[in-house]
Amino acid sequence: MQVWPQTYIPIIGEAQVAYMLDSFYSPQALTVQMEEQAHQFIIAYQDDIPVAFAAYSPLNPDTWKLHKLYILPQVQGKGIGKQMVHYIKNGVSATGAKSLILNVNIYNASAIAFYNRYGFQHLRDEDIDIGNGYFMNDHVYQLAL
Cα separation, 61 vs 73, whole angstroms: 34
State how far the alpha carbon of 62 is from the alpha carbons of 92, 94, 105, 119, in Å. Answer: 9, 11, 24, 18
For residues 71-84, give the mean pLDDT: 95
Q: What pLDDT is recorded for position 1?
A: 63
Q: What pLDDT is recorded for position 5?
A: 87
Q: What pLDDT is recorded for position 70?
A: 96
Q: pLDDT of 21-49, one tens digit each? A: 999 999 999 999 999 999 999 999 999 99
Q: In one letter, which amino acid is 28?
A: Q
Cα separation, 24 vs 34, whole angstroms: 12
Distance between terminal CA atoms of the chain? 30
Which DSSP helix (H) or strand (E) runs through 40? strand 40-46
Q: Which domains does the chain show, CATH number per domain? A: 41-144 (3.40.630.30)
Q: What pLDDT is recorded for position 4?
A: 87
Q: Which sign, positive or negative, has the C-alpha torsion 35, 40, 18, 46?
A: positive
Helices (H), 72-144: 80-94, 109-118
Q: What pLDDT is recorded for position 27?
A: 95
Q: pLDDT of 79-136, one tens digit each? A: 999 999 999 999 999 999 999 999 999 999 999 999 999 999 999 999 999 999 999 9
